[in-house]
Amino acid sequence: AQSVTQLDSHVSVSEGTPVLLRCNYSSSYSPSLFWYVQHPNKGLQLLLKYTSAATLVKGINGFEAEFKKSETSFHLTKPSAHMSDAAEYFCVVSAPYGGSQGNLIFGKGTKLSVKP
């Protein structure tokens, strides 16, 4: 069965400093992994996805994530935080090719605060 664990419920950074949001996954298949962002009163938006191609994945708004199979991790990073990055971030795992589950499994989310 697939699952994701987001290691921090809340991360606070200063504007211009690096961002690290941590995610560990568990999957009995070769996983597809995603990061989604949710701004207040807005729909979930895909930041980036990993689907067994390059292990370093670049997404929108300067975010990137590295798939590390040995550590079962898929941490999200950004070199320099911007005030507009303040939002809730979700790490998501999916079984490719359908498998026995065709759904997306969400982590509990990490709320990112950015201080001026």
Partner 1 sequence: DTGVSQDPRHKITKRGQNVTFRCDPISEHNRLYWYRQTLGQGPEFLTYFQNEAQLEKSRLLSDRFSAERPKGSFSTLEIQRTEQGDSAMYLCASSLEGIGNTEAFFGQGTRLTVV
Please tell me the distance from the alpha carbon of residue 14 to that of residue 116, in angstroms, as a whole number: 6
Binding map of partner 1 across residues 3-42, x = CB under 8 A, - = no contact = -----------------------------x-x-x-----x
What are 61's two structure tokens? 């708004």
Q: Which helix (H) or strand (E) segment is 11 a member of?
A: strand 10-14
Minimal distance, residue 98 CB to partner 1, in Å: 8
Q: Which of 12, 28, 103, 113 binds partner 1 (CB under 8 A)?
A: 103
Please tell me the distance from the alpha carbon of residue 25 to that of residue 87, in angstroms, as a whole number: 21
In terms of DSSP bridges, do strands 64-68 and 73-78 run parallel, antiparallel, or are they unpaired?
Answer: antiparallel
> Which residue bears the tokens 């962002």?
37
Nearest residue to 37 via CA among 21, 24, 26, 52: 21
Q: Which of 5, 24, 77, 101 binds partner 1 (CB under 8 A)?
A: 101
Footprint on residues 80-99 left by partner 1 (CB under 8 A) = 90, 94, 96-98
Minimal distance, residue 96 CB to partner 1, in Å: 6
- For binding to partner 1 (CB under 8 A), which residues are involved? 32, 34, 36, 42-46, 49, 51-52, 90, 94, 96-98, 101-109
